[in-house]
Amino acid sequence: MDDLGVSTVQIRDNRYDSVIHMVTAADGAEKFYATITGEARYESVDEAKEKDELLRQAYMGHQKWFLIKNSDCADFKDKI
């Protein structure tokens, strides 16, 4: 990033009009995370929570950052 002359904040704030962070099912809807399997899902519940938190921290400074928690929704359809 130094070679490009940009910072993570510049990229975050200028690349995206808004950021909608839908919290992983592993955090608050664990029963759904555990029942869905597939090649795309390879993290444990704890690993998924850790990655979700890192993404949350990376984008939460954006002026139009929105967080959608599992506890705010009745079901996945409501979350979407």
pLDDT value at residue 39: 61
Please state, rounded to an integer, the average pLDDT across all residues of the chain. 89
Total domains in the chain come to 1
Residue 20 lies in a domain: yes
pLDDT value at residue 38: 61
Give the best-scoring range by mean pLDDT among 14-18, 32-36, 39-43.
Answer: 14-18
pLDDT value at residue 27: 94
Render the burial of 15-35: b for 16+ CB within 10 Å, e for the rest: eeeebebebbbbbebeeebee
Residue 3 lies in a domain: no
Q: For 38-76, how does the pLDDT look when each residue is reduced to its tens digit (9 = 90+)?
A: 666 778 889 999 999 999 999 999 999 999 999 999 988
Residue 33 lies in a domain: yes
Q: What sign does the CA torsion over 40, 80, 60, 9 have?
A: positive
Residue 72 lies in a domain: yes
Domain encompassing residue 55 = 8-79
Helices (H), 1-80: 8-15, 30-35, 45-59, 76-79
Tokens of 9: 């904040």
Residue 2 lies in a domain: no
